[in-house]
Amino acid sequence: MNEGHQWFTQMRKTVKLLFGSDLPDLPEAAFTLPSLPPVTPPGFAQPAFDLPASVFDASPSPAKTPAGAHFMSGVYANDAGSRSYKLYVPSCWKGQALPLVVMLHGCAQDPDDFAAGTQMNTVAEERRCFVVYPAQSPDANNSRCWNWFNALDQQRGQGEPSIIAGITRDIMDTYPVAPGQVYIAGMSAGGAMAVIVGTLYPELFRAVGVHSGLPFAAARDLASALSAMKRGASAREVKSAGLPIIVFHGDQDTTVHPANGEELMAQGLRSHPLGTKSLPSRLAGRVPDGHAYTRTKHWLNDGSPLAEHWVIHGAGHAWSGGSSAGSYTDHKGPDASREMMRFFATVRGG
């Protein structure tokens, strides 16, 4: 089997997962193998890609909740529809105000799976914050993907963004959430939706975290979604001021092209005039017995964080540093969950 045919077969599987249907009747030549950008820094060998078995674990182990903590279910509904969610309340909570992180799972996942794989509840215990996991409904998408590629679901007050914002407000109305410390993050389709929701509701969220996702409104239909996933999304200006963002992407991701991580960064940086930004800093490192990575940081002139980009060398479409207790994880990478929380803690509003 040649590489082009392998890619075509993989894209057929990806489309069926994402859209709940097969590819349209197009010739195989329309889906030729893309060229991944040579992002490995000097001095690093390009590791062979071997996707961990945890990617295919459809039955994650249930996470244990510490004494005094709660992982409870809820449902939110508005005119756009209803979605269930899971809320994690850490054991330290005694009525005081805490930060809130909204976590959006990827395709074929649910809140329990995503929490187990990212270990974000454990990090919430360490960082003392609430975490809410909205759940996509199979009635809205057969594969439980957030519909980031639908035009309706890219508008304020409409579709899934309005539901996710509504869940966030419900938690803020029910629990004492620290002012200016509400954040949103996601994986893959959830990462793309996190960007959309953060862009549409900048008064609600203070920063965005994206793992293996796509830029704001990267697609409007099936054809543009396939193009964005395969080659990278086209540049698109965002009219609102960009929120601080932290991005993780494996440079061997064949599901969502790594160029999307670059465009996510560019999209955020374009929202700020040249004179307001400092020169970026770049650090190359390696996880012991794991993947090499390149981290690039950008600041505003006042020293506040603007954007942070982690390219994980040799990693595919999986949550970096995650646990095999959940699906789509790669324990060999830097700990994306703790790094996101660390970044969020440096970005606080009034």
Per-chain mean pLDDT for the chain: 85
Cβ(176)–Cβ(128) under 8 Å? no
Going from the C-alpha of 227 to that of each of 27, 32, 34, 220, the distances in angstroms are 15, 11, 10, 11
3-state class (DSSP) for residue 187: strand
pLDDT tens column, 23-57: 545 444 444 434 444 333 333 233 322 323 233 33
In the chain, the domains with their CATH numbers are 63-345 (3.40.50.1820)
Does 234 score more than 60 pLDDT? yes
Most confident of 39-43, 201-205, 215-219, 273-277: 201-205
- pLDDT bin (cut points 50, 70, 90) of residue 272 is confident
> Mean of the pLDDT values across residues 143-167?
97
- pLDDT > 90 fraction of the chain, expressed in percent and rounded: 71
The set of residues, in sequence order, having a beta carbon less than 8 Å from that of 152 and lying 6+ positions away, is 158, 159
Which residues sit opposite 248 in a β-bridge? 211, 310
The set of residues, in sequence order, having a beta carbon less than 8 Å from that of 66 and lying 6+ positions away, is 91, 125
